[in-house]
C-alpha cells in the first residue's frame, strides 16, 4: 500500500474555500461522497482508498480508530505494509490517527499518511500514542 500513497507525497489541502479535488476524490472513491471538502479529517479516507486500490480489506469508516478492528493484530510491524493507529487528545477519546508504518526511532514511530500537517508525508509520532498495529488481509475474490 505504501507505493500507492508515496506517489501522492506532498499532496496537500488548499486553504480557504477552495478544496483539493484529489482529496475530495478519496472520499468519493470509498463511498463517502457526502464529504465535499478537504477540511474533513482525511487520514482514514486515504488509508481506505489505498486499501481499496490494493485489494485489501478496509474499515470503510472515516474514524482512525475503526482500523483497530480490521486485519490481524501484530507486534511486529512490516515497513510499508502494516497499518499503525495512534490516539489523539486523550487515550479514551474517539479521536486518533492512522497511517502506514515506515520504521521507528528510540521514541518515535515514522508514519506515512494523509492529513499529517494537512498533507501526505512521513511524520514521526511519539510511541506513547500508539494504539496498535494491524496487517490487512487480501479481499477474497470469486473466480
Tell me the pLDDT tens digit for each residue of 31-78. 999 999 999 999 999 999 999 999 999 999 999 999 999 999 999 999
Q: Among the CATH numbers 3.40.190.10, 3.20.20.70, 3.90.1720.10, 3.10.110.10, which is that of 2-135? A: 3.90.1720.10
Residues 110-142 have pLDDT tens digits of 999 999 999 999 999 999 999 999 999 999 765
Residue 46 is placed in which grid cell?
486515504
pTM of the model: 0.95
Phi, psi (degrees; rounded to nearest 5) at 98: -135, 145
Phi, psi (degrees; rounded to nearest 5) at 123: -140, 145
Burial 35-71 (b: 16+ CB within 10 A, else e): beebbbbbbbbbbbbbbbebebebbebbebbbbbebb
Residue 102 is placed in which grid cell?
515506515
Tally of CB atoms within 10 A around 139 = 12
Break the chain into its structural domains and give their ranges. 2-135
Residues 81-111 have pLDDT tens digits of 999 999 999 999 999 999 999 999 999 999 9
Amino acid at each position: 500500500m505504501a507505493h500507492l500513497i508515496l506517489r501522492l507525497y506532498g499532496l496537500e489541502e488548499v486553504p480557504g474555500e477552495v478544496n483539493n479535488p484529489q482529496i475530495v476524490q478519496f472520499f468519493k472513491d470509498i463511498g463517502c461522497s457526502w464529504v465535499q471538502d478537504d477540511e474533513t479529517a482525511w487520514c482514514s479516507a486515504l488509508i481506505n482508498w489505498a486499501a481499496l486500490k490494493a485489494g485489501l480489506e478496509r474499515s470503510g469508516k472515516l474514524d482512525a480508530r475503526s482500523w483497530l478492528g480490521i486485519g490481524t493484530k501484530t507486534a511486529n510491524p512490516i515497513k510499508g505494509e502494516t497499518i499503525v493507529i495512534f490516539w489523539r487528545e486523550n487515550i479514551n477519546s474517539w479521536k486518533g490517527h492512522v497511517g502506514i508504518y515506515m520504521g521507528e526511532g528510540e521514541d518515535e514511530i515514522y508514519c506515512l499518511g494523509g492529513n499529517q500537517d494537512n498533507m501526505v508525508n512521513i511524520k514521526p509520532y511519539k510511541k506513547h500514542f500508539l494504539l496498535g498495529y494491524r496487517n490487512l488481509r487480501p479481499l477474497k475474490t470469486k473466480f
